[in-house]
Structures are given as structure tokens and as C-alpha cells.
Amino acid sequence: MKLTNRSHGAAPTRIAKHHRRLNGAALLAGIGLGVVLGASSYVAFELLGTVSGAFNALSVLTSMIGTYLCLMLLVLVSRIPAIERSFGHDRMVILHRTLAPYSLFLIGAHVIFSTVGYALGHNINVVQQFVDFNLQYPWMLPATVGFGLMVMAGVASYRRVRSKMKYETWWTTHLYFYVAVAISFGHQIEGGRVFLNNPWLKPIWISVYALVAATIFVGRIALPLAFSLRHRLRVAAVVEENKDVVSIYITGRKLDKLKARGGQFFQWRFMVRDWWWQAHPYSLSAAPHDEWLRITVKSLGDQSSALSKRLKPGTRVVAEGPYGIFTEDRRYTDEVVAFAAGIGITPIRAMLEELPLASRATVIYRALDATQAPLMQEMKELGEQRGWNVHCLFGPPADHPLTLEHIEKFAPRIGESDIYICGPGGFTVGVQKLAEAAGVPEFRVHHEAFAF
């Protein structure tokens, strides 16, 4: 199909700018890792010569690299809007999940290597050495507690465990990771061999911690508070879409200054008892309006299942965002094929509402039945107004396989389109494979991961 001028000019410019930012961030992270590796390798090399020294050398390396990765994990979820808009919240979360096991394994290896190394040096068993560490060495007991909290967060992140947890439990468990890093700080600064042998490194490492702490404070506390004071968000209405889904209308001041886009999401805190401390990610389910915002939520956890009962008009709301790059301005053609499954229709509907009138869209909305397809009627009406093709495919997945042969019946121009996907992980992967089979380049496939 013929691409617009915007596709030929603006799209490559966006790709180049996006790649420059990614490369710049990767370069800074790589330089930091190189400095940490160089400083710890210098100290580790001096310890070699005995078996106990070799274990202690490995302890130094794993400690420093593992801690550096822990700090990077915190930066990745610090929620600085400018960073989130550049890379995409879900992609940063995916990178966070990818790095997290390595940081935990490295810190765990540090615990083992240091205990074995000291036990060999003192000629005692490892159990006695571990007990001595915690009873006789300064800052060691807080570090042990911190490691235990890291393990707890790591177990909660394991896919099979996470799938059985409610969002609120998972979210609370991850708060302990911040505590773990904080209470382990003293042990590393005061007892770490790298800093004992190179005292000039101590202020640099403290500065790194301070910078990460400042980033978290700005992104997780200062900006949300400023946001709340400026916009004074409140619940205007709660509308039941069906027995499992509610739409919440939120009003406030100067909403046009939010610069939110259809397809983005916010972290929402509803200021009622038991909920004020919990932040939940909900996508906008309609394009942002100057006077109101709307989210549509399915009953999946403790909070989402009680929204219709607990929220009343006038309830204050604190929000963080907007986040995400699942927006129409990321497309490269004037034709869009959007795939949604169940509640995944919410960002799809909001994003499509902002498509220019000249754009064409095909919507493939899959659900078990009509009762599992919230906003279906809205989506159909929007499609009729814009001249789009909206296909609601009901039944089990086997009835509507994500194969090119089947989907081309509904979207014959899929290979020449931008693909937008929102749904569970398996659904998203299936559509990605479908897009690949249709010859759609990866940069024209846009997906939003909404699983925690």
C-alpha cells in the first residue's frame, strides 16, 4: 500500500531517535558495569593464591556485579515519565524481569562464596562461619535479612507462583526489595573489600546509591504528589458494564495539561481505607477528554473486584503517568489491524479513537462470548462512525485460530498494515507469529503487555 509522507519521513526519524536513546542508555549502563567490574577485579586479583582466597575473590566479584544489577532494577521501575515515554513501560518491565534472576543468583553466589572462603581461612565449618558472620560482623545481620527479602521477591516473580497470586500480594511483596537494598547498603560500604582496599571508591558508590534513591523519590513520590495537587482528581461516576467489569469516570483540573494519549495507562491510587497505599495500572478505555478520563477494569484481584462497591463519586484519586507507547502516532502506515482479547480492548479502543479520519482500521476482538467482551457495543458504534471493520470472534481459541489463512478472511491487507495487540501473553505471542507469517516487519508490530 502507499505510505503517507509521515511514514516516509517522520517514522524513520522516530526510529533513529528511539535507537539513539536506547544506545545512549545502554552505553551509560555498560560504562557503569565496566567501572564496577574493573574495580572489583583489581581487588579480586590480589586475593588469589589460596583456595580460600579464590572463594573470597569470587565473593567480591559477585557482590559488586549483583549489587549493580539490583540498582539497575530499581532504575527500570522508577517511573520517570520521560524515560517511560521513550522506551515503553512494558518493555522496561520485561527488561527488569530479565535481569532480576541474574542479580539474585549473583547475590546468592556472594553469600555462598564468602561463607566458604572465610570458613576455609578460619578452618571451621560453613554453618559455624555463617552464624559467626551474623553475630560478630557489623552490618552482616541486616544484609542477611536483606538477602532473605530478595529471595522472597524473587520467588514471587517466578511465573508459576506469580500466576497464582493476586496483584495486591505480588505488589506488596515487591516493596520488600527496596527494603532489602536499603538495609544491605551499610554492609557493603563498611565491610566490602573493594571499599576497604580503595577508600576513594566509597564516595563514588555512595553517590550512585544516592542518585538511584533520588530517581525513585522523584518518580514514585514527588511527581505523583505534584500531579495530585495540580489536577485534583476525583471519581465522578462508576458504571457497571457487566457483572465483572466496571468503568470509572475521573474528573479533575487542567486535564488537557496531562498530554495523555489513547492507549496509555496510569498507576491509580484510590484514596479509601485499605487502598490508598496501593498503585494499580489501568489503561484509559477512551481517548482522554479535557474534562474527564475513563478506565475500564475487570474483576481480577482484591481491589478490581470491589471497585463498584467501594468507590463513590467524590473519592479522591492520586495518579502516576501517563505511561506507555501504545499510541497511534507509533504507526508507520495509514492502515491498522488491531487484535484484542477480553479486557485487552480497553487500550485498543482508546488508541483507535485518536486515529486520523483518513486512516483505515480492522478490529479483531476475540472473547469466549458476548458477556466476556466489554465495550463491544462501543467498539461497533465507533467502527460504524469511522467506516472500520469490527469483527467479534466468539468461542474457544480453537474456533478462531491465529493462522494467516483464517485471519486473512477478516483482514486481507494485514501484511501492509500496522499491527496493534493487547491481550494475555499467549494471545500476544500468537498474533506476533501471525504478523511474522504475513511479512509484517517487527517495527510495525505494537503490543501492550498487561500481565503483572
Q: Which residue has the cell 518491565?
A: 93
pLDDT for 385: 93
pLDDT for 22: 63
Higher confidence at residue 119 or residue 88?
119
pLDDT for 5: 35
292 phi and psi angles, rounded to 5 deg? -155, 160
d(CA 433, CA 308): 38
Tell me, what amino acid is at 133?
A: F
Peptide bond into 412 cis (omega under 30): no
Q: Are 136 and 188 a contacting pair, CB within 8 Å?
A: no
On the question of pLDDT at 302 being above 70, the answer is no
d(CA 32, CA 302): 41
Segment 318-338 mean pLDDT: 90
Segment 108-129 mean pLDDT: 93
Helix (H) / strand (E) containing 70: helix 51-76
Domain 232-323 grouped into CATH 3.30.365.10: no
pLDDT in tens, 276-297: 878 888 999 999 998 999 999 9
Segment 369-381 mean pLDDT: 91
pLDDT in tens, 141-166: 988 999 998 988 888 877 777 777 77
**3-class secondary structure, 410:** coil
d(CA 233, CA 294): 12
Segment 337-352 mean pLDDT: 94
Number of Cβ atoms within 10 Å of the Cβ of 36: 21
List Cα–Cα distances, 154 to 141, 149, 162, in angstroms: 20, 9, 10
Helix axes 376-386 and 345-353, enclosed angle (nearest 10): 20
Q: Are 337 and 360 a contacting pair, CB within 8 Å?
A: no
The CATH classification number of 329-448 equals 3.40.50.80
List Cα–Cα distances, 84 to 59, 180, 321, 405, in angstroms: 35, 25, 9, 37
Number of Cβ atoms within 10 Å of the Cβ of 185: 18
Count how many Cα atoms sit within 13 Å of the Cα of residue 358 in the half-sphere of its side chain.
Answer: 6
d(CA 324, CA 282): 11
pLDDT for 301: 61
Higher confidence at residue 257 or residue 449?
257
Segment 178-200 mean pLDDT: 83
Judged by average pLDDT, the poorest of 179-193, 233-247, 399-413 is 179-193
The domains of the chain are located at: 5-217, 232-323, 329-448
Number of Cβ atoms within 10 Å of the Cβ of 399: 11
d(CA 114, CA 133): 10
On the question of pLDDT at 3 being above 50, the answer is no
pLDDT for 2: 34
pLDDT for 7: 41
Question: How does the average pLDDT of the chain come out, rounded?
Answer: 86
pLDDT for 41: 86
The CATH classification number of 5-217 equals 1.20.120
pLDDT for 76: 86
Q: What is the dihedral of CA 67, 69, 74, 77, to 10 degrees?
A: -170
pLDDT tier for residue 425 given thresholds of 50, 70 and 90: confident
Segment 107-111 mean pLDDT: 94
d(CA 86, CA 320): 16
The answer to whether the 5-217 and 329-448 domains have the same CATH topology is no
% of the chain exceeding 90 in pLDDT: 46
